[in-house]
Amino acid sequence: MSRPQQITVLGATGSIGLSTLDVIARHPERYQVFALSGFTRLSELFALCVRHVPQFAVVPEAAAARGLQDDLRAAGLPTRVLVGEEGLCQVAAAPEVDAVMAAIVGAAGLRPTLAAVEAGKKILLANKEALVMSGALFMQAVRKSGSVLLPIDSEHNAIFQCMPQDFARGLSSVGVRRILLTASGGPFRQTPMSELAHVSPDQACAHPNWSMGRKISVDSASMMNKGLELIEACWLFDAKPSQVEVVIHPQSVIHSLVDYVDGSVLAQLGNPDMRTPIANALAWPERIDSGVAPLDLFAVARLDFEAPDEERFPCLRLARQAAEAGDSAPAMLNAANEVAVAAFLDGRVRYLEIASIIEEVLSLEPVVALADLDAVFTADAKARALAEQWLKRHDR
């Protein structure tokens, strides 16, 4: 076999980053870690450097970089520490790199992910917010560089696996009628509506099937995650929002389905463990062991489905509206959501206010075309400012 592929893991200290490193460590003959990044929990980043011996580590600021560099040197490691967004873009685009795992959470992941796209890397895309914010520009950059874009989000990875290889010809050309995007319904699927006003961040983060970072866990509770995924699916598979139907499937065993014109519906099933989509994308078009246990259908016993209730999950309605409006609407939705979720996690807003904040932001700012990345970040900043105004007005 040829030399191991060099992998950069952006967001290595997070849930997806750690799962990625778990899969990589199972296949040292195939993969080598080129660079790791972390934003907080830098002692964990140090431990990951000891374990994987990357050429580079990236941290947010200079003082932290000096501290980590000293520790690495004392441990006899050759790893060099880089700083900030510039460092992230550098390790994403470095000529030695074959594939980049984009697993930074939120808008902060956009520039480094785009740097990897522009350098023509294989992109393992977990950072859905990047695509939601800048879908048209992002996909244009993918086409221009010839970058291979592989979805990590379990639903999109499932859809990718159920699609014919030439799906880029257009869904109708390959006989696809609909995408069925599954959702667990999160921890509040059956919580009495009267209790939703008082749920805590810890309750929101207690996902029944998946263990994830706190931001995406809150998004799963509100179903904004499914809304972001609806937009993500439209970009990845060139679908119209009306071609993507959300189906609640509480067991999280079917990770999504593709409905063909002849009536065939293909699904991908598996245990809810992100190492499956990660291994699928890392090795694509081959298959490798991910460490995930075989699916035990007798233990699963049954698969249930229900329609989502948009009164219970107003964020899903807001996301669908933004998907249909297009242009700057998804970037504004995403930014308002990031501010609202951070405030909820800080105990500054209540759970139900997340949707109120987003709805207000979207109603105040007209939708505009996004000609370039500056326009994306301008829309993002406007939405953040409006969401902050909401917080100030409510004295938070």
Q: List contacts with Mg ion (CB under 5 A).
A: 153-155
Choose the stretch contacting ligand NAD; rule: CB under 6 A; options: 103-111, 197-205, 233-241, 348-356: 103-111
CA-based R_g, the chain, Å: 20
CB of 23 to Mg ion, least distance (A): 17
Distances from the Cα of 9 to the Cαs of 12, 29, 57, 178, 394, in angstroms? Answer: 5, 18, 10, 33, 39
Which of 23, 30, 84 lies closest to 56, judged by CA? Answer: 84
For residue 84, state whether it binds ligand NAD (rule: CB under 6 A).
no
Nearer CB in complex with ligand NAD: 57/105: 105
**Could you tell me whether strands 265-269 and 254-260 are parallel, antiparallel, or unpaired per DSSP bridges?**
antiparallel
For residue 126, state whether it binds ligand NAD (rule: CB under 6 A).
yes
For residue 250, state whether it binds ligand NAD (rule: CB under 6 A).
no
CB of 31 to ligand NAD, least distance (A): 19
Of positions 65, 68, 114, 129, contacts ligand NAD by CB under 6 A: 129
Non-local (6+) Cβ contacts of 67 within 8 A are 42
For residue 14, state whether it binds ligand NAD (rule: CB under 6 A).
yes
Quote the tokens at residue 205. Answer: 């983060």
Instruction: Pick what 319 binds: ligand NAD, Mg ion, none; C-beta below 5 to 8 Å, kind-dependent.
Output: none
For residue 105, state whether it binds ligand NAD (rule: CB under 6 A).
yes
| Distance from C-alpha of 395 to C-alpha of 152, rounded to nearest angstrom | 39
CB of 92 to ligand NAD, least distance (A): 12
Choose the stretch contacting ligand NAD; rule: CB under 6 A; options: 69-77, 170-178, 210-218, 289-297: 210-218
For residue 259, state whether it binds ligand NAD (rule: CB under 6 A).
no
| Distance from C-alpha of 203 to C-alpha of 205, rounded to nearest angstrom | 5
H helix or E strand, kind and range, residue 180: strand 176-183
CB of 63 to ligand NAD, least distance (A): 16
For the chain, what is the total number of helices (H) and then of strands (E)? 16, 11
Q: Is 178 helix (H, G, I), strand (E, B) or coil?
A: strand
Nearer CB in complex with ligand NAD: 32/334: 334
Q: For tokens 């970037």, what's the residue?
A: 331
CB of 342 to Mg ion, least distance (A): 20
- The length of the chain is 396
For residue 38, state whether it binds ligand NAD (rule: CB under 6 A).
yes
Q: Is the distance from CB of 93 to CB of 99 less than 8 angstroms?
A: no
Of positions 40, 43, 172, 200, contacts ligand NAD by CB under 6 A: 40
Residues that bind ligand NAD in the complex, under the rule CB under 6 A: 11-17, 38-40, 103-105, 108, 126-129, 153, 210, 212-213, 215-216, 274
